[in-house]
Amino acid sequence: MEPLASDDAPVVGAYRLLRRLDRGGMGRVYLGRSAGGRTVAVKVVHPQFAVDERFRARFAREVAAARLVGGSGAFTAPVLDADPEAELPWVATGYVAGPDLRRAVGEVGPLPVRTVRALGAGLAEALVAVHGHGLVHRDVKPSNVLLAVDGPRLIDFGIARAVDAAGELTATGVSLGSPAYMSPEQVLGAEAGDSGAVGPATDVFSLGAVLAYAAAGRPPFPGESLTQLLYQVVHQAPSLAGIPQELRPLVAAMLAKEPAARPSPGEVARALAGDGGAAPLVRAGWLPPEVVEGIGRRAVELLDLDLDVAPPPDGGAAGPVPAPVSAPAAASSPAAVPPGFGPAIPLPVPAPALPPAPPAAPTVAPRPRRGLRAALAAALVLGLAGAGVYAFTRPDTDGAADAGDPVVEESPREPVAQELPEEFLGEWQGDLTLDIGIPGGRMTLTLEGGAVGEETGYASTKDVLGISTCVDRMTLTSVSGNEAVFDALLDTEQSTRGTCVTEEFRMVLRLDGEGQVLRYTSVHPDSGAQGVLNRPG
Give the residue numbers annotated as catalytic, written as ranges: 139
Cβ count within 10 A of residue 413: 8
Q: How far apart are CA 121 and CA 134, in angstroms?
A: 20
Contact 278, 75 (CB under 8 A): yes
Q: How far apart are CA 110 and CA 114, in angstroms?
A: 12
Cα angle value 532/441/470 (rounded, 5°): 105
Beta bridge partners of 391: 528
CA atoms within 13 A of residue 295's CA, in its CB half-sphere: 33
Q: Collapsing DSSP states into helix, strand and coil, what is residue 269?
A: helix
Beta bridge partners of 533: 518
For the chain, how long is the longest CA-to-CA vector?
84
Contact 468, 348 (CB under 8 A): no
SS3 track for 160-208:
HHHHHHCCCECCCCCECCCHHHCCHHHHHHHHHCCHHHCCHHHHHHHHH
Contact 53, 131 (CB under 8 A): no
Contact 486, 474 (CB under 8 A): yes
Residue 100 neighbours by CB under 8 Å, 6+ apart: 142, 143, 144, 145, 146, 147
Q: Collapsing DSSP states into helix, strand and coil, what is residue 338?
A: coil
Q: In the chain, what are the helix, strand and coil shares in percent, each to the nearest 5?
A: 35, 25, 45
**Burial (CB count within 10 angstroms: exposed 0-12, middle 13-18, buried 19+), residue 304:** exposed
Report the run of H or E that residue 126 belongs to, with start and end.
Answer: helix 113-132
Give me the DSSP letters along 18-39: EEEEEE-SSEEEEEEE-TT--E
